[in-house]
Chains A and B, each alone.
Chain A
Amino acid sequence: MLELSDIRAGYADVQILNGVDLALRPATITTVIGPNGAGKSTLFRAIFGLIRVRSGSIRFGAEEITNEKPARLLARGIAYVPQGRNVVARLSVRHNLELGAVTLADQSLVAPRIEAVMDRFPALRQHQARKAGDLSGGQQKLLEIARALLLDPKLLLIDEPSIGLSPNLVRDVFKVLQGLRDAGVTVLMVEQNTKAALAISDDGLVLELGRARMHAPAAQLLADPAVGRLFLGAAIEG
């Protein structure tokens, strides 16, 4: 599905990713965990062509996609929901959704797909004429996710979706991700809310100092005492 080998990337003269290897299994959720500043967001930016990969290669299916631009990656079926707020605040909810489909080759599909995502997220239908910046933080995050789904992606990169969301909304978002996985979408997620995220994930990746320390089934990471101590807050029983 997505395969990284020995990825090195960073900013100006600091290298943040020091040779990351990773292979995702199709139709799974993989959660990346690691301390602040480990390079989790940087990894996503490198995959999505926002910062240059200095060496190594990224393959998507059979294709080499290293250093391709976002527009190209979107066309291939990779979508990205970054950390933080990412709506165009002064455009309406509906127009934000439309923006998610600018790279869609067949523009006649846009309207029905917007209908479909609004069916999935009724709050967006209700607020479709409002400015995106006037929505609550949680609704904005749903809008971002909905917008990413407009291209019907095969791979979704989603960076800390739960930040600033109420526990109920976090559960909703996780349910959406599980639904996508069940429909065949591969999800790569970064989450601070590690226990809950690993609980819905198939695999987990521990990223530390720009390297993949562990890549294992999520259940195994949840049960690992060292991982528990370092990344899951309190120690895990057993």
Chain B
Amino acid sequence: MAQFLQVLLSGLATGSIYALAAVGFSLVWQAAQAVNFAQGEFVMLPAFLVLIGEHWLHWPLWAALLFGFALSILLLGLAFKRLIVQPFGPDGGLPLVIATMALSILLKEAVKTFYGAEAEPFPSLLPNGTFHVGGAVVSVRDVLNLLAALAVVLLLTLFLDRTKTGRQMQAAAQNPGVAEILGVDVARMTLYAFLLNAALAAVASFLITPVYLAKFSNGESLGIVAFIAAIIGGFNRIRGALVGGLLIGVLDNLTATYVTLSYRAALPLVLLIAVILWRPQGLLGDEEARIV
């Protein structure tokens, strides 16, 4: 029981990082029908931007973090939209998919070439200790990671549901033609979705990298997991992506502990197939809202 609790919690902690990536993925999909196959690298890169601030520019950690966050928003939000997504027009289709795959390779190789192929330690923003709950050893960092990620997603959904700008974003994503005739600035709302995705990726990066070290290949499985988490959750549902991410994190840890380590990588795919067979609209999606 104690071990189960431990495994469950660290699964939720990893899953919450998947969830951040999946939620951002789903935002960009909803706003621009763009499937971002570089999403994993979007989570890998911000940590390196912070390391550049720290080690190359010799800035204090807080300044490096700020720099990494701002540059992430600029590169992964604004530049991604303007230079990669926009040129393919409103319905990017397959060419855009290929472009984001190419971007994923480019980001990975750029980090490897210019920063290095070795795993780099990344400063932890959260305390490192453990505490005991009913015999289980619980990592403080896992708990705080989970809480931080949940808080970010909660804030995001509050923003989307409770503010006028958030609802304009929803209108622009669900029905851009209607949004336009009401005078909503659809292009601006789409940009906001890209900026929010970049912010989510940066937060995920800062939370996860202290655990796994900064490495150019960190995004490899994460991108696929985010994609699958978003589909499992219902693709165009923020809460669905959250649930999908957490579910994969937990099941991943449970199989690794209780079944076998060797099938671990296949688990998200198995989950995906199961959902497609039994609930094709996703766990939290509904029939009407399903676009793909």
Contact = CB atoms under 8 A, between A and B. Distances in A.
B185 A71 contact: yes
Contact of B164 (A70, A75, A90, A98): A98
B205 interface: no
> 8 closest pairs, A vs B, by CB?
A103-B183, A71-B183, A74-B183, A88-B171, A86-B178, A99-B182, A88-B175, A80-B181
A142 B175 CA distance: 18
Contacts of B170: 88, 90-91
A102 B181 contact: no
A50 B180 contact: yes
**Overall SS of chain B's interface:** helix
A114 to B, nearest CB: 13
Interface of B: 164, 167-168, 170-171, 174-175, 177-185, 288-289
A211 interface: no
A133 B288 contact: yes
A70 B178 contact: no
Contact of B182 (A89, A90, A100): A100
A53 B281 CA distance: 41
Contacts of A91: 167, 170-171, 174
A99 B175 contact: no
B28 to A, nearest CB: 18
Contacts of A102: 164, 168, 182-184
A90 B180 contact: no
B181 A99 contact: no
Interface residues of A, number: 22
Contact of A98 (B167, B174, B178, B179): B167
Contacts of B182: 70, 74, 99-100, 102-103, 147
A99 B288 contact: no
Nearest to B165: A102
B181 A50 contact: yes
Nearest to B171: A88
29 contacts: A48-B181, A50-B180, A50-B181, A70-B181, A70-B182, A70-B183, A71-B183, A74-B182, A75-B183, A80-B181, A82-B181, A86-B177, A86-B178, A88-B170, A88-B174, A89-B174, A89-B175, A89-B288, A91-B167, A98-B164, A98-B167, A99-B171, A100-B182, A102-B168, A102-B182, A102-B183, A103-B182, A103-B183, A147-B182
A97 B168 CA distance: 12
Interface of A: 48, 50, 70-71, 74-75, 80, 82, 86-91, 95, 98-100, 102-103, 133, 147
Given A70-B182, A74-B183, A90-B174, 6 more contacts: A80-B181, A88-B174, A89-B288, A91-B171, A91-B174, A99-B179
A99 to B, nearest CB: 5
A70 B167 contact: no
A71 B179 CA distance: 10
A233 to B, nearest CB: 31
Contacts of B183: 70-71, 74-75, 102-103
Contacts of A103: 182-183
A48 B177 CA distance: 12
B180 A70 contact: yes
A198 B58 CA distance: 77
B183 to A, nearest CB: 4
Contact of B178 (A75, A88, A95): A88
Contacts of A71: 183-185
A102 B163 CA distance: 12
A74 B164 CA distance: 18
B178 to A, nearest CB: 5
Contacts of B171: 88, 91, 99
B189 to A, nearest CB: 11
Q: Among the interface residues B171, B174, B289, which one has the most CB atoms of the partner chain A within 10 A?
A: B171
A41 to B, nearest CB: 13
A155 B180 CA distance: 18
Nearest to B185: A71
A90 B289 contact: yes
B74 to A, nearest CB: 27
B174 A95 contact: no
Contacts of A100: 182
A87 B181 contact: no
Nearest to A157: B181
Given A95-B167, A99-B168, A133-B288, A87 B180 contact: no
Contacts of A95: 167
Nearest to A81: B181
A117 to B, nearest CB: 14
A50 B288 CA distance: 27
Contacts of A82: 177, 181
Contacts of B184: 71, 99, 102
